[in-house]
Structure formats: structure tokens, C-alpha cells
Amino acid sequence: MENKFKNLKDILKKMGSVLVAYSGGVDSTFLLKVAGDVLEDGVLAVTADSPTYPKEELAFSKRTAKELGIRHKIIKTHELKDRKFTSNTVSRCYFCKKELFSRLKYIARKNKLNFVIDATNVSDKKDFRPGNKARDELNIRSPLQEAGFTKYDIRRLSKKLGLSTWDKPSLACLASRFAYGKKISLKILKRINRGESFLRKQGFKQVRLRHYNGLCRIEVSKNDIPLLLNKRDSIVARLKRIGYKYITVDLQGYRTGSMNEVLKEVKR
């Protein structure tokens, strides 16, 4: 772990100055903290304000960047104007990341920063991530991956560094709640956001509300499934009020990239 941490610091130091693609999640907060410690004023955090990004997370990113003493910029992104994104093919993330990283490269040049970096790490290699193609095409660096950091490493060192995000639930774009091929719309993004916000207020820390037209599939941690069932009546009533006709529970519990499981079946 010490060698990985030293390697990460060395990588950042050699970069000289960076723009960090900052979401406010576990990985990007850790990366921002270390970059700030190593490069001081040579760091700019940029967060995308988008309908696919929960508003409470935007507020969190602002607050955390301020606490870390890092310059922070908010930009508006417009994925929903791109039919290649809203048509929601398996390459959806590529089009979103291509727009975002292109914007970040421009901002980095304008601010005379040497590199744009993101918080991709070794653990991300296990999941299907078409956005990585856009990252590679635009020469975005991923220092955590280069230094060999896993998600476990990041959480462990985040705790050691006193970061409140060390045990924060994993985040993902709200568009990841849609089944592939189902059009992404602002109306449904807002519905999903309302549903997940309600579930978090009921005491569920890790939540996904997967959308299938009039049906939703709730994912919470396996240990929280009994609590979910105990609160069944109030949850059903609330989710029906926001537009779902059928409410289901995934008995496998929360797992990263569950919508990608259909891709594995297609390949078999």
C-alpha cells in the first residue's frame, strides 16, 4: 500500500498541474485530496451539472472541494440533446464521456493545466465501461489505475486520510438505471431521482432503482432486504405515486453494473 501511495504521488508530481474530473464520489475525492497535497495550486476540480447527476451530489462536490481547499468549477453538460446518448445503446457512456472529456480538455488548455485526469482505478476493469474508449482517444490520464489502486485500497487510505467519503456508497450516472434500448428522458431521470432519494431517506445507504417502463427493480444491500420488505407498504405507495405500476425487489441485492448482465447473456 505504501508503495502504491508513493507511486501515485510521484505520478502526480511529474504531471506538474492537473484538471480533475470530479464527481464527489469515493475515488475522485481521494484523487483530488492527493493531487491537492502534491500539486497545491496546480489543481482544478471540474464537476458536470447534468440531469443524470443527482442534485444532492452536486452540492456535496461543492462542499467537499471547498473543504479540501481546491479550486472548483461547475459546468453544464447536454447529453440529453444527443440522440446517440438518449437512444441508450450499449455505447451510451462513450458519447457522454466524449462530450465531457472534450470540454475538460478545452478548460485545461484555457487554464494552462498540463493534464486532465479521472479516477478510474484497477477495480473498474471488471465492469463494462465503454466510456474508457473516449478517455483513451482524448489521452485522459488515470493516475489511480496507473499506480495500481483498487477500490479497496482507495477506501482504506481515504479513511486513514480522514476523508468522509471512505465509506460513501458507490455512485453511478442515473442513466445507468435504464435498460439498454429504452430511451433516456428528463422526465424519467427525475422520477428515478425522486424514487432513490425517498429510499435513501428510509435508511437505505446503497440504492439503485432500475427502470423498465411501468416497472421498477429495487436494489439495496443484501443485509437491507429484510428492512425493505418491512417497509413494503410505504415504499409501494410512494413509488406508485411517482409513476410506477409494478414495484419489484432484486433478491440478489445491489451489485455494480447489474444492467450489464444482459450483455453477458447475449455473448453466450
For residue range 10-42, what is the model confidence (pLDDT) as tens digits? 999 999 999 999 999 999 999 999 999 999 999
221 burial (CB, 10 Å; 0-12 / 13-18 / 19+) is middle
- Give the 3-state secondary structure of residue 61: helix
Range of the domain at 60: 2-167
Q: Are residues 95 and 121 in the same domain?
A: yes
Residues 151 and 181 in one domain: no
* E strand or H helix at 209: strand 207-212
Indicate if the alpha-carbon torsion angle 112, 118, 122, 125 is positive or negative. Answer: negative
Q: How many domains does the chain have?
A: 2
Residues 8 and 98 in one domain: yes
**What secondary structure letter does DSSP report for 165?**
G
Mean pLDDT of the chain: 92
Q: E strand or H helix at 137, and its extent?
A: helix 131-137
Chosen domain end from 129, 145, 167: 167
Q: For 152-197, write each residue's pLDDT tens digit.
A: 999 999 999 999 999 999 888 899 999 889 999 999 999 999 999 9
Q: Is the pLDDT of residue 126 over 90?
A: no
Burial label, 264 (beta-carbon count in 10 A; 0-12, 13-18, 19+): exposed
Do residue 202 and residue 160 come from a single domain?
no
Last residue of a domain, one of 167, 196, 212: 167
Angle, nearest 10°, between helix axes 186-201 and 232-241? 160
Q: Are residues 125 and 237 in the same domain?
A: no
Which grid cell sits at 40? 497545491
Residue ending a domain, choose from 167, 191, 215: 167
**Contact between residue 132 and residue 122 where contact means Cβ atoms under 8 Å apart:** no
Instruction: For residues 140 and 10, state if they share a domain.
Output: yes
Contact between 143 and 20 under an 8 Å Cβ cutoff? The reply is no
The yes-or-no verdict on residue 264 having pLDDT over 70 is no
Cβ contact 165:29 at 8 Å: yes
Are 193 and 150 members of one domain?
no
Which pTM value belongs to this model?
A: 0.88
For residues 147 and 221, membership in a common domain is answered with no
Grade residue 130 by pLDDT with cuts at 50, 70 and 90: confident
